[in-house]
Amino acid sequence: MIAYLIRRLLYAVPILLGVNLITFALFFMVNTPDDMARIQLGAKHVTAEAIARWKVQHGYDKPLFYNAQAEGGERLTQTLFTQKSLSLFALEFGQADDGRSIAREIQTRMWPSLAVAMPTFFIGLAVYLATALMLVFFRRSRLELAGVVMLVVLMSISGLFYVIGGQFVLGKLWHWAPISGYAPGLEAWKFLVLPVLVGVVSGIGESGRFYRALFLEEIHQDYVRTARAKGLSEARVLFNHILPNAAIPILTGVVVVLPRLFLGSLVIESFFGVPGLGSYTIDAIQAQDFGIVRAMVFLGSLLYIVGLVLTDLSYTLVDPRVRLQ
């Protein structure tokens, strides 16, 4: 298994390199360092000298891939690509265009992201599984029919509607929770109620139906019939037999997301004013801050790869037939 892990991690290097190259090319094709400087320096009294100075200060005064004026190995190292993109492999994120340390920002902002994403994820998972199991339990009844119709309705509604509807009904009409905002520490709880609720409810339709389909596939298997023949109750059949056997496809979707939880949600954080990494990324895209975007894309790719490896590992835990070689 260790050999497998090492091999997977080595595969990650060219993938991350490719992601970096694409991000780098996209950004520098759309935005020259001069453009970045102008955005940062504002609209008034911007001189050519100020732009040149900004580029030097932020390290954007170097050529893209090959520095003909440097000597030896520095021809490759004294370039924008090496300085700005490859340094990410050492987890050196550098500074944002406003001079703030990106690593520090990530450390600060990951906690609000986690505060929203963790409960949304785990409560959501529990709710989705429970909904799907219930629908399977009540299969071929009017309850199931009503439940499935409800799920189809829920999944047909845009995610933004849940956000705006939640803020309107719970925040504005009923006065149960702040419409948006965030506070650190224990005071955060009242700000989390609404985004977590919206996050969970908006996912019920799709995930509930997906898990229901997985369970329905299992319910006709021979081992289920055997379990029933042993005289087990339907509840025990569902929880002790069907749930573990449906775990592999569930884990495929679930474990891969886990490491990325702290990157937060772009939509939820923006609309609810949660100062997490999701809103950090959105702000950076709007401000065309290449430093932050490149760091977040790199981190996202890295964590996705970690998630995939963890998924493979989790298979071995839930299914003894799986061996990683």
Partner 1 sequence: MRFLFIVLALLLTGCLVGCQEPINSPHLAGLAADKVLFSAFSERPKHLDPARAYSENEMAYLGQIYEPPLQYNYLKRPFTLEPLTLSAMPEVAFYDAQGRVLPADAPAVRVTTSVYTVRLKAGIRYQPHPALAPDRVLTADDYIYQIKRLADPRVSSPIASLMGEYIIGLNDLGVAIEQKLKRGVAVDLVQEPLSGVERVDALTWRIRIKGKYPQFLYWLAMPFFAPMPEEADRYYGTALMRAANLTLDSQPVGTGAFYMAENDPNRVMILRRNPNYHADYYPTTGEPNDAAAGLLRDAGRRLPLLDAAVYSLEKEDIPYWNKFLQGYYDTSGIASDTFDQAIRIGPDGRPDLSPEMRARDIQLATTNRTSIWYLGFNWLDPVLGGVHDPERARKLRQAVSIALDWDEFISIFLNGRGLPGHGPIPPGIFGFKEGAINAVVYQPDGRRRALAEARRLLAEAGYPHGRDARTGAPLTLYFDTMASGPESKARLDWYRKQFARLDIQLVVRSTDYNRFQDKMRKGNAQIFEWGWNADYPDPENFLFLLYGPNRKQGKNGENAANYSNPEFDRLFTEMKSMDNGPARQAVIDRMVQIVRVDAPWVFAYTPKAFGLRHGWLANAKPNPMAHNTLKYLRVDPVVRQAYQRHWNRPLLWPVGVGVLLLIAMVYPAWRLWRRRLRMTAVEGR
**Cβ at position 109, least distance to partner 1 in Å:** 6
Task: Measure the CA angle with vertex 197, ends 195 and 202; round to 5°.
Answer: 95
Q: Which two tokens stand for residue 319?
A: 């299914």
Nearer to partner 1 by Cβ, of 110 and 214: the residue is 110
Nearer of residues 137 and 315 to partner 1, judged by Cβ: 137
> What's the min distance (Å) between Cβ of 129 and partner 1?
16
Total residue count of the chain as it appears in this document: 325
Asked if 116 contacts 195 with a C-beta cutoff of 8 angstroms, the reply is yes
* Closest separation in Å from C-beta 101 to partner 1: 5
- Computed over its alpha carbons, how large is the radius of gyration of the chain? 25
Q: Which amino acid is at 116?
A: V
CA proximity to 190, closest of 201, 205, 200, 179: 179
Buried b (16+ CB within 10 A) or exposed e, 284-296: beebbbbbbbbbb
Residue 171 beta carbon to partner 1: minimum distance, rounded to whole angstroms: 6
Interface residue list for partner 1 (CB under 8 A):
31-32, 35, 38-42, 44-50, 53-54, 57, 98-101, 104-105, 108-109, 134, 137-138, 141, 143, 164, 167, 171-184, 187, 190-191, 233-235, 270-271, 273, 275, 279-280, 283
User: To 10 degrees, what angle do helices 247-254 and 290-318 make?
Assistant: 160
- Closest to partner 1 by CB, 33 vs 307, is 33
By beta-carbon proximity to partner 1, the closer residue of 2 and 229 is 229
CB of 279 to partner 1, least distance (A): 8
Comparing CB distances to partner 1, the nearer of 135 and 255 is 135
Specify whether the CB–CB gap between 274 and 188 falls below 8 A: no
